[in-house]
Structure 1
Amino acid sequence: MKVSSFSNMIILLTISSIFFIQSIQCVPDKIDNVCQKTPHYQLCLLTLKSNLYSHRLKTNQDISEFVRVTLQVIAARAPAVLEQIRDIDAQTDHTQLKTALDDCMIAYGKITKEIIPQALNYVDKRDYVGVKERANFAGSLAESCEKKCKGTTSSGVSPLGDNSQFVQNMCSIAASIASMPQSNP
């Protein structure tokens, strides 16, 4: 009897682990399918695969959580860009750059405190049109900031480095995912 109950336990564990492993294997495929439909495939893939929460999603779940993850990445990065802008502003005497940085502080303040929190609220409400609009707006503000800063230097290189471009790219990924059908992609 003990051998039989032990055998049953082994069989039960084997069967349950097969289902568990299949669901884990399907999520990366789903991440790949979603990211292929975005304008920045590699960045999307890196972002979603490196986020542990993305790996806990069920295979039959809609992709709203992928949108949430990208917005949370923007929500984490935008305040760092805002701080970088403040630091550069404090260190420069260049009038044209200071003017551009002032505009950027306003833009990144909006991105940080208004736009991305609104987009996350739209995800909760499953209003993907609102998510897309907010993500596109945040991306436009980041792009405008980048252009203003590039125009103030003789080299044409932004003093913000790649940080503002990263925010722009993440915004376009979020908007792209929000545009996808909200069932399995």
Structure 2
Amino acid sequence: MKPSIPRTTFPLPFLILLLLLLPAVVRSGDLIEEVCKKTPFYGLCAATLHSNSSAAADIKSLAATVTNFVLSNATDTLSYIQAQLKKEKDPKAEKALANCAELYIPVVKYNLPQAIEAFFRGYYGFTKYALSDAAKQADACEDKISGAGAGGGELSARNKAVSDLCGVGAAIVGLLMKVGGRGLKV
């Protein structure tokens, strides 16, 4: 009688593929954790990067992902400001919202798109500067609405999110500049 060979529930090629890919998945998660620990907002960084499964290839991919998230959030915030501006009846609050729109428009239409283009051309210093400037504009908007008594609420949360994401992005771009395309040894 021949001994029977136990059958596995997974086909062998699938099992081999799983064993080959598992270390890459673990390493990519480790990279996100390692990079996010070096940013000012670890939780925001980790949540943002883990939500994009393709982000973890390398530190440059992480920086690109966060920079694109910044543009997306700033664009959404500008749209929100413009919608609120159409509804606002209080002249003081309306002026504060108009000032915020004036702060966000160049960030969304020019600064961040140019920063993303510069990033992909290897001009990381400009990208870091533009991200830092975008954070300052979000903070300035917050000062405007707080000074008008319109602070707090949805717009304040949006300004904080943009500012904090900019801080994360600038920190990751700074790490990229430091490692110069080599492995993360910071």
Aligned twin of 2:50 = 49
Q: Secondary structure at the match of 2:114?
A: helix
What's the TM-score once normalised by structure 2's chain length?
Answer: 0.83
Q: Which amino acid aligns with 1:19?
A: L
- Structure 2 residue matching 1:126: 3-state secondary structure: coil
- Which amino acid in 1 is paired with 2:96? A
The Cα of 1:14 is off from its aligned counterpart by 4.6
Task: Provide structure 2 residue ranges, at least 5 long, that are not aligned to the other structure.
Answer: 1-10
Change (3 A) 1:157 1:15: closer
Q: Distance in 1 between matches of 2:107 and 2:54?
A: 23
Quote the residue 2:155 is aligned against.
160
What are the equivalent positions in structure 2 for 1:63-78 lying under 5 Å apart? Answer: 63-78=59-74
The amino acid of 1:162's aligned partner reads A
Q: Does 1:176 align with 2:177?
A: no
Residue 19 (structure 2) aligns with: 18
When the two chains are superposed, the root-mean-square deviation of aligned CA atoms in Å is 1.9
Secondary structure at the aligned position of 2:183 is classed as coil
Structure 2 counterpart of 1:149, one-letter code: I
- 1:115-130 equivalences under 5 Å are 115-130=111-126
- The answer for unaligned runs of 5 or more in structure 1 is 1-8
2:95 is the alignment partner of 1:99: yes
Contact (CA 8 Å) 1:32, 1:45: kept in 2 or not? yes
- Aligned partners of 1:78 and 1:122: how far apart in 2? 18
Report the alpha carbon displacement of residue 160 of structure 1 after superposing the two structures with TM.
0.9
8 A contact 1:74–1:170 mirrored in 2: yes
* Overall identity of the aligned pairs, in %: 24
Deviations 1:117-159 (A, max 9, x none): 11111210111111100100111111101111111117x5366
Mapped partners of 1:160, 1:168: distance in 2: 12
Instruction: Return structure 1 stretches of 4+ with deviation > 4 angstroms.
Output: 12-16
Query: In structure 1, how many angstroms separate the alpha carbons of the residues matched to 2:43 and 2:183?
Result: 21
8 A Cα contact 1:149 1:158, kept in partner: no
The residue that corresponds to 1:150 in the other structure is 146
Please say if residues 142 and 156 of structure 2, whose CA atoms lie closer than 8 Å, have aligned partners that are also in contact.
no
Cα drift, residue 69 of structure 1? 0.5
**Counterpart-to-counterpart distance in 2, 1:123 and 1:160:** 28
Between the aligned partners of 2:33 and 2:153, the Cα distance in structure 1 is 32
